[in-house]
Amino acid sequence: MAKKKLLIVESPSKASTIKKYLGSDYTVMASVGHIIDLPKSQLGVDIDNNFEPKYITIRGKGPILTDLKKEAAKADKVYLATDPDREGEAISWHLANTLKIDASSPCRVTFNEITKTAVKAAVREPKPINMDLVNAQQARRVLDRIVGYKISPILWEKIKKGLSAGRVQSAALKMVCDREEEIINFVPEEYWSVTAECMAGKKGFSAKYYGEMGKETKLPDKASAYAVLNDVKDAQLLVEAVKRSTSKRNPQPPFTTSTLQQDASRKINFSTSKTMQIAQQLYEGISLGGSLGTVGLITYMRTDSLRISAEAQKEAVDYLTREYGSEYVNPRQYKTRSGAQDAHEAIRPTSVGIVPASVKNKLTPDQYKLYKLIWERFAASQMAPAVYDTMQISIASGTHTFRASGSSLKFKGYTAVYIEGTDEKNEKEKMLPPMEEGQKLTVAALTPKQHFTQPPARYTEASLVKALEENGIGRPSTYAPTLTTIISRGYVIKSKKLLMPTELGEAVNDIMRNNFEKIVDIGFTAGMEDKLDLVGEGKLEWRKILKDFYPDFSETLEQAKINVEKIKIKDEESDIICEKCGRRMVYKLGKFGKFLACPGFPECQNTKTIREGTGVMCPKCGGEILKKKSRRGKEYYACEHLPKCDFMAWDAPVKDKKCPECGGILLRKKGRRSKVFCINEDCGYEKRLTAGEGSDED
């Protein structure tokens, strides 16, 4: 008789995928994330008793735990297959303790990808729970709990209730505030350029002023620019030197968590949290039908490793050779940066043979976009460099020198599959017309232009994630929740992708910077991450981190309670009058975004949702179509009489324009291929938008 086995994972969708890979003697169940954690209502850490955590069953998880205990009692063997990281290791440890499983027995199963081969191989080789990883997670959890629960009450008292501080989030907020301060304090400096529009035969090109007497010369003001102009305007321009060569551009490595978040932001306009949400779905499994069944399409998405398995590399080489030819293939392994964790592979498709186009109809539009991005980046990483013909020329006019350069693609290499988001603008450079040394050029125009140095750019989600990683702040699992927290708390707002601190964010940052300097210090935060890594490697005892940290922190905390003065943040007034008491209502930030509230609270507790009209009338009932947000923050459009009228659309209605074919409402679809189209499916009218007509590429 076959032995009954129970395998526990974190998510129901992951359980559903894995069930199809294992035989009938396996039961697969989900813990639905953590089942045990620190209590929300209290600190939950006994500081005087060697920082002992007080774990409890999470509210609402009782029934799940009961079901797991019942199945565990029936099973001959229980396997714990939570996610392959510190958090997953800790969940397995809590499950082992609750289900009375010996953590040192071979009960832990890990796999980097959810495929039939990987899951079956992992189940054949279970291991003990890695207590070093568990302790690294405990150290992070306890440390962050102490920082958050000890500092947050000071913010409540001195600013307002509902605020929070955190070891990583406060360091990230400081970076945004510091950048804003740099921008405010920036003093622009004037400089000038002179551009010569030249003709080589019948072909024109532009050359930039370089300098005088063979040396680079700056033009700090109008006088210096016009001095060059006067010297050159009547002089002969001669090609002084021509340098022809080829250059190679190598592909980027496969994605890590941070680079995936960065490129998804640049190329498909995903927020960090959305990227991780969609990546989780691709990892846990998609039903592809037919012989493929349900399969995890990508490897584990929380990683900072660039390593790929030999099997995955061989499959990629075979596929690329077959599809593109051997000249396009250049297999390589990439070096993972110093300090990164190498437990997992880079993010890649579980099978390069599952090309995005072949599964497009099985994926949601967002899943398809992200899978395509991951697939293309991985495929490109194993391809040959792109080769360019380049040409640089130096042009002499008396003692003055102008320079020009150009390039053209000679061999596509990896660009046949993928172009990095940061490189796309550079692809427009063209080759210069043929020229030889000593050739005389005709000047069509000389254009002087005033410029000013620019302040550093505000962070985007992509650039802030990059900066966090470069400074060693946080780890792959923390980037998205950190950004989500500082935005949802109202510390930072996002406008056209740019992150700007609010008055509230500046106030919180001032308190943190002036009273908890060590907590927001980039070097300290990065050093703490290194210590947590040492715990995970078994080289440092986890409670020692807390013992070293707490005495100074406790003293700082007591001083802050005395020193921090109250800060009044004035609410932004609206032009809407409270119908209950006549006051002018103010904007407040709640769990699901901004809303209107009466400033007379608690005497008057009137609140309103913010109405954002479109000026377009509902085709069903004649009411106004309003712009709304779902609980997950996704924009949609609905009739003001919802739910009586059920009109809803994901795309924005176009104001003051009707369908030229049938007179119906036009909707505008955003994205790289912006278009307007008729809401009436029977009509079928649609029109692509160019940049001049208001596409997203303006």
Residues 137-157, mean pLDDT to the nearest whole number: 95
> Same structural domain for residues 39 and 82?
yes
| Confidence at residue 6, expressed as pLDDT on a 0 to 100 scale | 97
> Same structural domain for residues 317 and 414?
no
Q: Is 434 helix (H, G, I), strand (E, B) or coil?
A: coil
Residues 492-521, mean pLDDT to the nearest whole number: 92
- Cβ neighbours, 10 Å, residue 445: 10
> Same structural domain for residues 217 and 290?
no
DSSP H stretches of helix in 492-599? 503-515, 517-520, 522-536, 542-563
**21, part of any domain:** yes
323, HSE (Cβ side, Cα atoms, 13 Å): 16
**316, part of any domain:** yes
| Confidence at residue 1, expressed as pLDDT on a 0 to 100 scale | 52
Q: Which two tokens stand for residue 410?
A: 């000679």
Give me the percent of the chain exceeding a pLDDT of 70: 95
Judge if the upstream peptide bond of residue 643 is cis by omega within 30 degrees of 0.
Answer: yes
Active site residue 226: no
Q: For residue 132, count CB atoms less than 10 angstroms from its CB and return exposed for 0-12, middle for 13-18, buried for 19 or more.
A: middle
Q: For the chain, what is the mean pLDDT?
A: 90
| pLDDT bracket for residue 450 (50, 70, 90) | very high
Give me the percent of the chain exceeding a pLDDT of 90: 73
Q: Positive or negative, the Cα torsion across 7, 277, 340, 313?
A: positive
Tally the domains of the chain.
Answer: 6
Amino acid at 60: G
The residue length of the chain stands at: 698
> Same structural domain for residues 79 and 180?
no
| Confidence at residue 430, expressed as pLDDT on a 0 to 100 scale | 83
**645, part of any domain:** no
Q: E strands along 302-356, which residues?
A: none
Q: Which two tokens stand for residue 242?
A: 């021509």
Q: Which two tokens stand for residue 598?
A: 């009466």
Contact 272, 261 (CB under 8 A): yes
Q: Positive or negative, the Cα torsion across 172, 177, 179, 180?
A: positive
| pLDDT bracket for residue 459 (50, 70, 90) | very high
Catalytic residue selected from 21, 209, 300, 371: 300
| Confidence at residue 698, expressed as pLDDT on a 0 to 100 scale | 28
> Same structural domain for residues 265 and 346?
yes
- Report the alpha-carbon angle 366-372-374, nearest 5: 105
**640, part of any domain:** no
> Same structural domain for residues 267 and 354?
yes
**152, part of any domain:** yes
CATH number at residue 93: 3.40.50.140
CA 145 to chain centre: 25
- Report the alpha-carbon angle 74-28-99, nearest 5: 50
DSSP conformation letters of 37-98: E--SSS--EETTTTTEE--EEPTT-HHHHHHHHHHHHH-SEEEE---SSHHHHHHHHHHHHH
State yes or no: pLDDT of 349 exceeds 70.
yes
The DSSP H or E segment spanning 473 is none
- Cβ neighbours, 10 Å, residue 649: 14
Q: For residue 676, count CB atoms less than 10 angstroms from its CB and return exposed for 0-12, middle for 13-18, buried for 19 or more.
A: buried
Q: Residue 352: which domain range?
A: 257-381
| Confidence at residue 683, expressed as pLDDT on a 0 to 100 scale | 82
Last-in-domain residue among 381, 415, 433:
381
Nearest to 468 by CA among 251, 231, 261: 261
Nearest to 508 by CA among 164, 162, 147, 161: 164
Residues 159-165, mean pLDDT to the nearest whole number: 88
Rounded CA separation 513/171 (Å): 9
| Confidence at residue 339, expressed as pLDDT on a 0 to 100 scale | 57
**336, part of any domain:** yes
Last-in-domain residue among 83, 104, 129:
129
Residues 440-452, mean pLDDT to the nearest whole number: 94
Q: Which residue has the higher pLDDT, 225 or 688?
A: 225
> Same structural domain for residues 427 and 536?
no
Rounded CA separation 346/255 (Å): 6
Rounded CA separation 545/462 (Å): 31
Contact 316, 352 (CB under 8 A): yes
| pLDDT bracket for residue 428 (50, 70, 90) | low
Q: Which residue has the higher pLDDT, 325 or 567?
A: 325
CATH number at residue 284: 1.10.290.10
Q: How far is CA 664 from CA 40, 554, 581, 637, 641, in A?
A: 52, 66, 43, 16, 20
Which DSSP category does 685 fall into? -
| Confidence at residue 633, expressed as pLDDT on a 0 to 100 scale | 63
> Same structural domain for residues 114 and 147?
no
> Same structural domain for residues 507 and 363?
no
CATH number at residue 403: 2.70.20.10
| Confidence at residue 305, expressed as pLDDT on a 0 to 100 scale | 92
Rounded CA separation 563/568 (Å): 16
Q: Which two tokens stand for residue 495?
A: 């406008």
The DSSP H or E segment spanning 241 is strand 237-249
> Same structural domain for residues 182 and 194?
no
Residues 527-548, mean pLDDT to the nearest whole number: 95
Rounded CA separation 301/481 (Å): 14
**637, part of any domain:** no
Q: How far is CA 696 from CA 34, 269, 669, in A?
A: 41, 11, 10
Summarize pLDDT for 487-504 with one digit per residue, the tens.
Answer: 988 899 888 889 999 999
Last-in-domain residue among 563, 596, 622:
563
87 φ/ψ angles, rounded to the nearest 5 degrees: -65, -45
Rounded CA separation 46/53 (Å): 6
Summarize pLDDT for 603-651 with one digit per residue, the tens.
Answer: 898 988 777 888 899 988 888 999 887 765 678 899 988 878 888 888 8
| Confidence at residue 76, expressed as pLDDT on a 0 to 100 scale | 94
| pLDDT bracket for residue 303 (50, 70, 90) | very high
Among all chains, which residue has been given the structure tokens 């609206």? 574
Q: Which residue has the higher pLDDT, 615 or 107?
A: 107
Q: Which residue has the higher pLDDT, 590 or 368?
A: 368
> Same structural domain for residues 224 and 262?
no
Summarize pLDDT for 236-253 with one digit per residue, the tens.
Answer: 899 999 999 999 999 999
In degrees to the nearest 10, what's the CA dihedral of 138, 141, 143, 147? -170
| Confidence at residue 695, expressed as pLDDT on a 0 to 100 scale | 40
Nearest to 522 by CA among 149, 142, 146, 170: 170
To the nearest 10 degrees (0 to 180), the angle between helices 86-98 and 62-74 is: 70
CATH number at residue 156: 1.10.460.10
In degrees to the nearest 10, what's the CA dihedral of 533, 538, 544, 548? -30
Query: Given strand 77-80, what is the order of strands in its sheet?
Result: 26-30, 5-9, 77-80
State yes or no: pLDDT of 453 exceeds 80.
yes
Q: Which two tokens stand for residue 639?
A: 């009739």
Rounded CA separation 447/268 (Å): 37
**621, part of any domain:** no
> Same structural domain for residues 471 and 494?
yes
Residues 467-487, mean pLDDT to the nearest whole number: 92
